Amino acid sequence: MSTIKTTGTGTTRVLPVFSHVKYEHLIAGLSGGVLSTLMLHPLDLIKIRFAVNDGITHSTPQYSGLRGAFVEIHRTEGLRGLYRGVVPNILGSGSSWGFYFFFYNTIKTWIQGGNAKKPVGPVMHMLAAADAGIMTLLITNPIWVVKTRLCLQYTSDVNLAESKRYSGLVDALTKIYKTEGIRGLYKGLVPGMFGVSHGALQFMTYEEMKNSYNDYRGLPIDTKLSTTDYIGFAALSKLFAAMATYPYQVVRARLQDHHHDYRGTWHCIQLTWRGEGWRGFYKGLGPNLVRVTPATIITFVTYENVSYKLLRAKSSRTEDLPATTAVAILNTSKTEVTAN
């Protein structure tokens, strides 16, 4: 990536990658993330509660399974209990997917040199997705910390310090920053960085399946697919990535849980392995797969259709611009001739 240069005329050259910025990807990703979160937040909450349950801490509720957890939370906390942490989750998921698709497509288009029909290969897909994941995580990690803690507010937490009782997003952000500083808002960042591999594997698999399918049909790789095709590719890519990288999500959730006091990532890994073995790193996988598979399908199908329509509308406006400009110039010329 070249540096910013200034020409002799005083005009500034923008970094090449910025010339490929398309905000339509940000809007489309944001739309998909918000929609899937609103529909599936209760499953996300249950997944988090399963993940942080180490079998030692008895102050937290014990659930027998996915259905049992749903019934118990609804019985003791009501419908509001199933939607604890939904506001930061909407902000987190919406902004994460928006930024992820935005950064990923900007980097990928830069690699392609602006030619959307040029294949880049699995390695470059993974690199673009990894770069997008790191930038997105640095922006959104504080929101994920708040979401996790709000999801872990139990009605049985009668002895919890007031500084760890949160009434909402702003209250949680304020209290975490006051009591734990900026480090508190970035707890779980290290395993989150490892989790970048999840997005990289998913996007690489998804893109390669789309490209291979279009190649098989003898069409350009950027040809729009049917909704059924997007559903199948999104589900398969997510299942593959989730199975491969789930343990980091358990470690990250436990580090962000205010009921535990781990000294760091390695300490959390050691205690989990010592107390629960390899199974401890896959706690909550069932609810997670039940949640993330339809969530990914909703997000990707929404993204693909919204981005297609937005980019198509933009392309139509661009094509109409030269004709409109020509008419305006012609009218101006006629006016000047008449005036003379």
CATH classification at residue 301: 1.50.40.10
Q: Is residue 7 part of a domain?
A: no
Residues of the chain with pLDDT below 50 are 1-14, 326-327, 329, 333-334, 336-337
The pLDDT, as a whole number, for residue 58 is: 62
Q: How many angstroms separate the CA atoms of 274 and 256, rounded?
A: 20
Q: Is residue 202 part of a domain?
A: yes
Which DSSP symbol is given to 11? P
The pLDDT, as a whole number, for residue 12 is: 43
Instruction: Tell me if 56 sits within 8 A of 262, measured CB to CB.
Output: no
Instruction: Tell me if 115 sits within 8 A of 223, measured CB to CB.
Output: no
The pLDDT, as a whole number, for residue 192 is: 80
The pLDDT, as a whole number, for residue 107 is: 93
pLDDT tens digit sequence for 66-97: 788 888 888 888 888 888 888 888 888 888 99
Q: How many angstroms separate the CA atoms of 43 and 302, rounded?
A: 20
The pLDDT, as a whole number, for residue 17 is: 58
The pLDDT, as a whole number, for residue 130 is: 93
Domain that holds residue 319: 15-333
Q: Is residue 176 part of a domain?
A: yes
Instruction: Tell me if 66 sits within 8 A of 287, measured CB to CB.
Output: yes
Which residues neighbour 4 within 8 Å (Cβ) at sequence distance 6 or greater? 12, 13, 14, 15
The pLDDT, as a whole number, for residue 6 is: 41
Q: Is residue 307 part of a domain?
A: yes
The pLDDT, as a whole number, for residue 5 is: 43
Q: Is residue 302 part of a domain?
A: yes
Q: How many angstroms separate the CA atoms of 243 and 329, rounded?
A: 60
Q: Is residue 2 part of a domain?
A: no
Q: How many domains does the chain have?
A: 1
* 3-state DSSP assignment of residue 42: helix
Which residue matches tokens 């040809």?
223
Q: Is residue 276 part of a domain?
A: yes
The pLDDT, as a whole number, for residue 325 is: 52
Q: Is residue 323 part of a domain?
A: yes
CA 205 to chain centre: 16
Helices of type H across the chain? 23-52, 66-82, 86-111, 121-151, 169-185, 189-194, 196-216, 227-256, 265-276, 285-339
